[in-house]
Structures are given as C-alpha cells and as structure tokens.
Structure 1
Amino acid sequence: MTVFLIFFPLLVSLFIFLVRPAQAKTIAFAASVVELLATLYITTQFSKNELFQFVLDVPWIQSLGLNFAVGIDGISLVLVLLTTLLVPGIILSTRNKQFAKPHTFYGLVLMMEMALVGVFVALDGLLFYLFWEIALIPIYFICLIWGGEDRGRITLKFFIYTLAGSLFMLIGLVYLYLATPGEHTFALAALYEAGQALSPGEQGFVFWLMFVAFAIKMPVFPFHTWQPDTYTVAPTQGTMLLSGIMLKMGIYGVIRWLIPMVPAGVAAWGPTAIIISVIGIVYGSCIAIVQKDFKRLIAYSSVAHVGLIAAGTFTLSVVGLQGAMIQMVSHGIVVFGMFYIVDVVAERTKTRTLDSLGGIRNVAPIFATVFVIVMLGSVALPLTSGFVGEFLLINSIFQYQYVLGAIAGLTIILGAVYMLRTFQKSMSGEVNNVTAGFADLTTEEKWVLYPVVVLIILIGIYPAPLLELSEPAVTNLLKVYSNLSASVK
C-alpha cells in the first residue's frame, strides 16, 4: 500500500504528460481521490503503536548500500493524510480556470503529490533526499509557468535557496553514511546509530548541515526571505502546495531525521533554534500587520505560525511534538482555505489591495461567514483546530522557558490584530465600486470551502483521533532521545 501511494500518482501524471487528454483535470482529480481513499484505508488498518507498518525494504543500488525502503508510522501517517486530503481540494479549487497546457499543470500537481508522500514514508537517507529534491521540480515549474509578475527572478531565488539547503543536507547524510559501521548504508536505523556514535562536536556540525536545509524549507527566520515573494507570485494552487504541505517537509525532517540522529547536537543547538523560531513568530506577525496585499499578509502570517511549530518541536517534549503534529494539520487546512479566499476575492474584484475592498459581507454573507470561521481557526479561537495545536505548542514552550513562552504567546494577540484588521478592511463597512458586484459563493466554491470549515470545527472539538495516531511514535522517539542525551551527559 505504501508503494501504491507513491507510484499511483506518478503513473497517472506520466499518463497525463504523454497522452495529453482533454479531461486532464478530471483524471487528476479522480486520481487524487483514489489516493485519499487508499490513505483512509491504511488508516483503518493501522495499528496505533510506535512501529513502522506497511514496510517495503528491497535492495536497489547495492554497491552504494541503497535500499528502496519505505514504511509508515503515526508521524508519517498524519502527514500523508494531510497531503492526500489537500491535493483533491487544490485540484478542485481551479474551478473554471483555464490554464495554458492543462495537462502539464495537472501532471505536475500529481508528481508533486508523489514526491511529498515519498518524503514522508522514506526509511532510507538517500531515498529521502531524492524525494526531497524531486518535490522541488514540479513546484518550480508551476510557479515559473503560471506565476505572476517577475516570476522568473523570484522563482529562481526560491530554487537557489532550496537547492543550496538540500546540498547541505546531502553533505550531512553522506557524512553519516561514511560513519556507518561495516558496509556503508543509508538505512534509517544505521544512520541513527552512526550519528549517535559521533562526538558532540561532529554532531553539532551535522546538526547545522541538516537544520539549515529544514529551516529553509519551513521556512523560519532568518532563512525565510524567499518565501513572501514566492507565495505572492505563485499561482494560488502553487501557493497552496507550498504553504499547505511542502513547508511541513522541514518540520518532519527535524522530527524524523534530526532529533534522533544527532541527540548531542540537538541538545547543544536546540535552544538556539528555539530562540530564532520565537524571533520569527514576532517578526512574521509584525510584518503581516502592516501588509496591504491580502495574499502577502497570509504569506507572512505563515512565517509566524511555522515559527511557533518549530519552537515547540525543539522543546523536545511530548506536548511540544504532539502540538507540532496537530498544528501542521491545522495550519495546512487553514492556510489552504485562506489562500482560496484570497483567490476568490482577487478574481471577483481584480485586486488584492485591502484598502480597495470593503462591505463584502453586505453582498456575500455566506462568503463572509466562511471567511470568519477560517479566520478564527487562524487566530486559534477555542473549539477551532488552531486552538488545539497552538495551546499545546505555547504550553510546551512556556514549560521550557517561561519568558520565551510569553513571547511566543504573542502570536495569538498579534494574529488577532492582523486577521481582524483584514476582516474589517475587506468585509466590513459599505460596498464601493470595486465590491458592489461581488457575488456570493458558487456551488463549486462551496465544495472547496465547506469541507475546510467542517475540518476546522471538527478537529477543534475532537482532536483525539489525530493525537492518538501520532502519540506512540512521538513518545518512543523522545524516549530514545532522552536515553541517548542522558548517556552523552
């Protein structure tokens, strides 16, 4: 089943590329739904323990010690669920959009899904790196071909940033590969063993090689400078892929690869990572407050939200990692909904400038209501999905260091400031020449946004199923880390 999740969207994408069917969107959507159903089936068959399941481990390039090794545990499954849940929504969100070369666009989306799933299920270091790099290719072309003004320069900056980070990670993986005992191998367990056997200084070296790659992908301050421009210029569906799923690759890399692999390095440099993540929370929020472009505002808000997830992750507590897991899901759903709302506004009014809007709730009450619910999920109102994750994350940071916890908690206050300001400028007041003809949600748009609203409320009221999926794997990972860091001391 794990192999099916990887290769099914790849095969469909190749079919779309080569055959160029007239109904490329329908085929891509149907394939993404099949992928989601397969993931739901795996979830029903999944045993809630810390062990990897649905494992395939076969020799691939034996001379390099490379195996095609994939498998799923609770941490992987939560992110595979998020990926396969959002991709059908992303395809559906194209509504009646007419893309030049639609077969290329939808083929790239499915190829992106394949690479993302591969990242989350890879149990071999080089295989993880290959999927990580493959994920960059389709999103680069999506942004370059269908992006907005000045997309060439901005997309090149994004490509160089992320490629440079990936090369740092490759150096780290090769360093660990050469340190594996006996015949060298990239197997996850062997890389864990090799990393844990390194001296504290070497572990610190590997920590920074890997962390820079993950920090760029998230991105966290000060590795974020590619993000606002790329999110703004990318087509809406590209921004959804980047913000809703792709940035989770960085957090996942920290949890799966960094923490258990170099425990002494994490113990030495984790506090630094927390500090820069907390700085990013305040920085991203403050920059979001002064934005006039709706889409750019959401881009900077993402910097703040991811900073909180990263800070909670590095507290190395069950509460922090569980908060990170559920907040990754919540952020993916909320930011998907928010960027779609921006797309609807821009399509109706031909502008994203907040000062040009106003009074939309008077002519589109359903749209305004949906916006309110998604907004409340973003600002972590109780009984929304955002509250569960942010409460756990802020709690973990506060237990780690109460001053940092208090600063991180500003994300809720500052988030309320920029989101309520956005609502006031776009939805409240009287209609003007730009918004007077604003139509309410169509049936197709409801099919995209209503599931987002339901998930925000459902996860906020009953988050237990998601938390129970990841808890055994998270607990086991931290138990291994605690034992190793204690032995180092």
Structure 2
Amino acid sequence: MNVTILLLTLLVGAIATYISGKKPAAKVALLFGLVAFVETIVLICQHNAGTDAGYMTQWISNPNIHIALKADGLALALTLLTTALTPIIIFSSFGDHIEKSNIFYSLVMFMSFAMTGTFLAADGLLYYVFWELSLLPIYFIALLWGNDTFEVRKKAILKFFIYTFAGSLFMLVGFIYLYSKTGSFLLQDLYNARLTGTEQYWVFLAFFLAYAIKIPVFPFHTWQASTYEKAPTVGTMLLAGIMLKMGLYSVIRWQIPITPIAAKEVMPTILVLSIIGVVYGSIVALKQANIKRFFAYSSLAHVGLIAAGAYTLTLDGMKGAVLQMIAHGFVIVGLFFVGEIIYRRYQTRMIGEMGGIRQQAPKFASIFMILMFASIGLPGTFSFIGEFNILYGLSQINLWYAVIGGTTLIFGAFYMLRMFQKAMLGETNAKPFADLNTKESIILGVLAIVIIFLGIYPKPLADLITPSLVEIVSYIK
C-alpha cells in the first residue's frame, strides 16, 4: 500500500458524500474518514517496518512537474493528525440541523484530502496545488454555514481568504524562482539548490509571508479571531486543529532546509515576533467575553510558541514543535467542542452568561478540566512534552527566549482557570444543563485518552518524527 490509496480514499469519500444525498451524507463522510484513519495506521506500520510508502511519477514534462509524495515519519505524523481528527470533527456534528448536508460534508472531506496532500507532497508545485485547494472548502464552509448574518460573516471570511491567498502567491513566486535555478520542483532538488545568501533571503521571505499568515504569527494574525468566531464549529475545528499546522509543518519541511543561511540570519527577529504572539495572545484572551474568541486567542498564544520552536533551528526545538502541533490539534478541537456543547444547552457563547455547570454536569466538567490542564501544559498531558522540548530548544539559543516564551504556562494557567471558574463554578444559570450524552462522551473521552496516553508515553510519535528531523537539521549549516 502507498499513500496514493489514502488520498484516493479521501477524494472518493468527498464525491460519495456529495452524491449520497442529504440524509446519509454525515454517515458516509464518517465511514470514509474512519477508513482513511485505518489506512494511515497501516502506512505508519509499514514505515516502521522499513517499507517506503511514497510515490513518484512525472505529471508534466515541460515544465518538469511530478506527482511526488513523501511518506516519511514527519509527513505521516501530520497525516495521522488529519485523518484522526477528521472523523472526530464529522461525528461531533451528528444531530445538528445542517442545510444541504451532502455539500457541507463533502467539503469537509475534500478539505481533509487537500490538507493530507499538502503534508505528503514532495514536489513544490503539487504542494502548492494542495495548499490552495485546502482554502476553497473552508471558505465556503465558513461563508455559507457560519454564525451571525451572512453580511456580517462575509466580511470576516473574505478577509481571511484574501490574506491567505495573497500570502500564497508570494510562495508561488518563490517556487518559480527556485525552478529557474534548479529546473525541478522536487523537494530533494530544492534542498540541494545552490543559492547565494541574498537569493535565500528573498525566497525565505516569500515563504514566510505565506506561512506567517496561515499559522498565524504576530502581527499577521488579524484575520484569525473573527474567522474562528464566524465559522461554524466544524469549520473552526478544521482551521485550528489541522489547517494552521500546514504553515508550521511547511516551515520545517520546506522553508528552513531550502534557505538555511537566511533562516539563521532572520531567526532572532522571528523568535521575537513569535514570543510577542505568545504574550499578546494570552493578554487579549483575558479580555474575551465570547468563548470562541477566547479559545482563538488562546490558540494564538500556543502556536506562537510552536513557531518559536520550529525557528530555533535545533533538533530539540523542532521535535517539540511537531509534538506540540499534534497535541494542540487534539486539545483545541476538544475545547471548541466544549464551547459548542455549552452553546447547544444555553444558546450563548458569552462566558458571563454561564456558571454553575459543574453542579449539573459533573462528567462534562471533569473532561473539560482535563482539556484545560492539557492546554496549559500540565505534566502528564501531551502538551507538556512538546512545550518542554520547545523551551529547551529556545534555551539553547538564548535563555531569555525560553524564560519569556515560558510565560505561556503562567498566562495560560491564569486565563484558563479564570474562564473555568466563571463557566463551570459559581452561581448556576437559570437554564438546566444536561450532562454529556453518548456521542459527546465518546468524542471527549477519545480526546482525553489520547492526550493523557501520549502525555505519559510519547515515544511512538517521537520515534516516528525524529529521523526526518535529523535529516532536515543536517541541511542547516
């Protein structure tokens, strides 16, 4: 089995979901999502057994473009995140009234296909095609099924589209220039390109604009909170749980190994911007009254730290960044689902209108507490492993980077505990709050188990990604 089977499964799943009709659409999408997840596990087992599941064939002879897919440990780890979260996100919406549900779920499956392709692509132009394809479904998901009135959400979603699309065009220019120097878009050929320091600087900058917007890195974050708030929760989960990881992954896979000289020169500036994002996101989160915006700024703080880890150019920092990408994906999807559960019961996302939920729903409050502790990096949770490695990587560059970056733990504990007290404790809201039903228990239970298990035993994932990262670090001279 090679990775083309996985991509075809997701693509066929999108088509089958669309033609299945409105009633069975969610179940069809869930079925194909689960099949894709199982296939990813098989691919990882093959990889661990020494079998290369990659694929390459020429697509276009002039210009020289290949359908090249790389199935190393790094790509498979992010593919695992995508195919694990996709069925969880789909299942979370079961029972919701979604108009034209076959179109909605087919867009979710197509987005999963495009994001998976982005993680697996080993040809620059193919990678760019997948990168752009992932933008289209989330645009329509957020625009057509989002919150608030169409006119209100249209402004936020259009801003998101323009920002990300414009950044991508700079990246395309970078790839075209690289092709003019190498005659190839293949990843390995681009790694071996002999670029001057000035050439590397401009290519680095072209890539950085695309990745900084997608992640987002401060001050390129202005689209994020509004888009997360206006998108339906399924869309927000896709954006925060998986899509932003495309930018973080690409920094490690594409940007740094192709432009190592420029990366070293610019590293201090980007580390400062990333750490500013940690502090800024934490402070702004404290002021949020809307729980979706609260989680959006909390996410901004955490991805700022992940970006800092990636740009340390150290093995420890990059390893921590990748582990934290995966941890953040599971945690943030869980937190946004918690917010959706509260909205379904209370019809509000305003934290001030909640309260006393723990008394009525102890099971819900307990799992929420696990997700909260994971978000702040409590030892024993998966997030702690990634954050520890990132901070250790930062300390190898400058101890102050680690000290200031580590404030995410302090700020995170403060604003998350403060929010938890307001929402879960205190006076009980006049409306009754039913505890978790079976579907909600399965989703939150699975997320909690993953977070705790990998917090205690992260070795399988660490072993999976380390050889790829060692190879990438070897290009940093």
Q: Same fold (TM over 0.5)?
A: yes
The structural deviation recorded for 1:9 is: 1.2
SS in 2 for 1:26: helix
The structural deviation recorded for 1:166 is: 0.4
Does residue 1:101 correspond to 2:100, yes or no?
yes
The structural deviation recorded for 1:21 is: 5.4
User: Which of 415, 419, 423 does residue 420 from structure 2 map onto?
Assistant: 423
Distance 1:267 1:398 in 2: 16
Contact kept? 2:22, 2:101, Cα under 8 Å: no
Distance 1:97 1:132 in 2: 29
Question: Map of 1:218-367 to 2, 5 A cutoff?
Answer: 218-367=215-364
Distance 2:438 2:23 in 1: 23
Distance 1:193 1:470 in 2: 22
Contact kept? 1:383, 1:457, Cα under 8 Å: yes
Q: In structure 2, what is the equivalent of residue 157 of structure 1?
A: 159
Does residue 1:454 correspond to 2:456, yes or no?
no
Distance 2:407 2:422 in 1: 22
Distance 2:235 2:346 in 1: 21
Query: Unpaired segments of 5 or more residues in structure 1?
Result: none
Distance 1:215 1:41 in 2: 33
Structure 2 counterpart of 1:152, one-letter code: K
Question: 1:15-65: per-residue Cα shift (whole Å, max 9, x none)?
Answer: 33245353011110000000000001111111378xx93121111111110
Question: Map of 1:443-482 to 2, 5 A cutoff?
Answer: 443-481=438-476
Contact kept? 1:116, 1:132, Cα under 8 Å: yes
Distance 1:18 1:423 in 2: 43
Structure 1 counterpart of 2:380, one-letter code: L
Distance 2:184 2:395 in 1: 40
Contact kept? 1:295, 1:342, Cα under 8 Å: yes
Question: Map of 1:1-400 to 2, 5 A cutoff?
Answer: 1-20=2-21, 22-47=23-48, 53-149=52-148, 150-180=152-182, 184-194=183-193, 197-400=194-397
Distance 1:291 1:139 in 2: 25
Contact kept? 2:213, 2:221, Cα under 8 Å: yes
SS in 1 for 2:53: strand
Question: 1:294-314: per-residue Cα shift (whole Å, max 9, x none)?
Answer: 110000011110000000111
Distance 1:53 1:256 in 2: 18
Contact kept? 2:319, 2:389, Cα under 8 Å: yes
Structure 2 counterpart of 1:6, one-letter code: L
Tell me the matched-pair count: 473
Distance 1:76 1:48 in 2: 16
Distance 2:299 2:117 in 1: 24
Distance 1:48 1:295, change over 3 A: farther
Contact kept? 2:260, 2:475, Cα under 8 Å: no
Task: State the TM-score, normalized to the length of structure 2.
Answer: 0.98
SS in 2 for 1:57: strand
Distance 1:463 1:385 in 2: 7
Structure 2 counterpart of 1:59, one-letter code: Q
Identity in percent: 45
Distance 1:275 1:368 in 2: 37
Distance 1:452 1:33 in 2: 15
Distance 1:206 1:76, change over 3 A: same
The structural deviation recorded for 1:112 is: 0.5
Contact kept? 1:28, 1:107, Cα under 8 Å: yes
Distance 1:294 1:457 in 2: 24
Mean Cα deviation higher: 398-407 or 103-112: 398-407
Distance 1:337 1:12 in 2: 24
Distance 1:3 1:403 in 2: 45
SS in 2 for 1:67: strand
The structural deviation recorded for 1:399 is: 2.0
The structural deviation recorded for 1:7 is: 1.7
Distance 1:258 1:305 in 2: 21
Distance 1:448 1:456, change over 3 A: same
Question: 1:244-285: per-residue Cα shift (whole Å, max 9, x none)?
Answer: 000000011100001110111111112211110011000001
The structural deviation recorded for 1:362 is: 0.4
Structure 2 counterpart of 1:131, one-letter code: F
The structural deviation recorded for 1:95 is: 2.4
Distance 1:48 1:461 in 2: 24
SS in 2 for 1:131: helix
SS in 1 for 2:435: coil
Distance 2:288 2:166 in 1: 29
Structure 1 counterpart of 2:446, one-letter code: P
Contact kept? 2:233, 2:337, Cα under 8 Å: yes
Distance 2:330 2:268 in 1: 29
The structural deviation recorded for 1:168 is: 0.6
Query: Unpaired segments of 5 or more residues in structure 2?
Result: none
The structural deviation recorded for 1:447 is: 1.3
Contact kept? 1:362, 1:430, Cα under 8 Å: no
Contact kept? 1:32, 1:87, Cα under 8 Å: yes
SS in 2 for 1:58: strand
